Amino acid sequence: MFASRDDQRRISPRIPVESFCSELHGDQLRHALVVDLSGDGLRLCRPLGGPRTRTLQLELEIPEMDEIVWATGEVCFDELRPAPRSAMAPTGILRTTGVRLVSAASRHRRLLRDFVFDTWMARRRAEDISGYLQGAACYMRG
């Protein structure tokens, strides 16, 4: 049985990141923080207020690479959530926005997918290795 487009986004790897992003709206530039990333979308922490549009023009950095991605995204959700006090959310409220990438250069999409998948696999291998070590016989007897 084939998965629908909505189901595919749920099974694609998603990794936590901290990367800067700029949102362009007309001649206004607003900054945001990318907090998780997949090959097809991302989640932003954005400042409160500002225009609420369905389509966003984004400029984002791929972490650990010297590469800037220009993309058009469609807002899937835009929510206010309680957050611990920090520089990112001094009011205790955090605006989080889920964005599905609808347009980007094929090179940028490929770089993004490769980065997400490679990072996801490396983290998964690290978790598997630590699990094997915990169950190793040399650690069982203390």
pTM for the complete prediction?
0.76
Q: Count up the domains in the chain and report the number.
A: 1
Q: Are 20 and 44 in contact (CB under 8 A)?
A: no
* 117: its two tokens: 């998948």
CATH of the domain at 27: 2.40.10.220
Give the 3-state secondary structure of residue 20. Answer: strand
List per-residue pLDDT tens for the chain, 142 residues long. 334 445 544 567 899 999 999 999 888 899 999 999 998 999 999 888 777 789 999 999 998 888 899 999 999 999 988 876 655 555 678 889 999 999 999 999 999 999 999 999 998 888 776 655 555 555 555 5
Which structural domain, as residue segments, surrounds residue 51?
Answer: 5-140
Nearest to 38 by CA among 57, 66, 60: 60
Distance CA 26, CA 21 (A): 16
Distance CA 46, CA 21 (A): 10
pLDDT at 11: 65
Q: Are 60 and 42 in contact (CB under 8 A)?
A: yes
pLDDT at 38: 92
pLDDT at 37: 93
